[in-house]
């Protein structure tokens, strides 16, 4: 099982939440959360950020790239994303380059990009 999947499940159980509870908070269906926890689906950047916020851990910890939990770094997502006309969001390359190493690493891990 992938590290982010193990950590997500452990954090959810530690907080006493069901998969449906997490799904409701993230506005996704329960099957999405189940897929994350089984390691067959990867959360996108926005959902990884929401999960880290929900469990008050760093995105790097949740993604499995760091072993220390750290606290969720409060930041404004508009520093990193732009909404397109179709309503979807994209990560801005210039913002990615200015992002903290922790955020860059979490993005690479979620997207499956090697350094």
Confidence category of residue 37, pLDDT binned at 50, 70, 90? very high
> Which structural domain, as residue segments, surrounds residue 20?
3-111
User: Which residues are CB-neighbours of 31 under 8 A, at least 6 positions away?
Assistant: none
Report the candidate in 48, 67, 20 with the shortest Cα–Cα distance to residue 107. 48
Residue 109, pLDDT score: 73
**Residue 15 has what DSSP assignment?**
T
User: Per the structure, how many domains does the chain have?
Assistant: 1
In this predicted structure, the answer to whether residue 25 has a pLDDT above a threshold of 90 is yes
Q: Could you tell me which of 72, 65, 52 has the C-alpha nearest to residue 8?
A: 52
Distances (CA, A) of 85 to 46, 67, 88, 91, 92: 17, 38, 7, 14, 15
Report the CATH number at residue 94: 1.10.260.40
Q: Could you report the per-residue pLDDT of 60-103, keeping only the tens digit for each?
A: 888 888 888 877 765 454 555 555 566 665 666 666 667 778 87
| Average pLDDT across the chain, whole number | 81
């Amino acid at each position: 099982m992938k590290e982010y999947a193990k950590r997500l499940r452990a954090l959810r159980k530690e907080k006493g939440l069901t998969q449906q509870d997490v799904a409701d908070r993230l506005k996704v269906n329960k099957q999405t959360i189940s897929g994350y926890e089984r390691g067959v689906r990867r959360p996108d950047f926005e959902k990884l950020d929401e999960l880290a916020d929900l469990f008050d851990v760093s995105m790097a910890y949740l993604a499995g790239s760091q072993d220390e939990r750290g606290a969720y770094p409060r930041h404004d997502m508009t520093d990193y994303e732009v909404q397109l006309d179709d309503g979807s969001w994209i990560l801005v390359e210039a913002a990615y380059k200015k992002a903290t190493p922790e955020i860059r690493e979490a993005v690479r891990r979620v997207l499956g990009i090697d350094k």
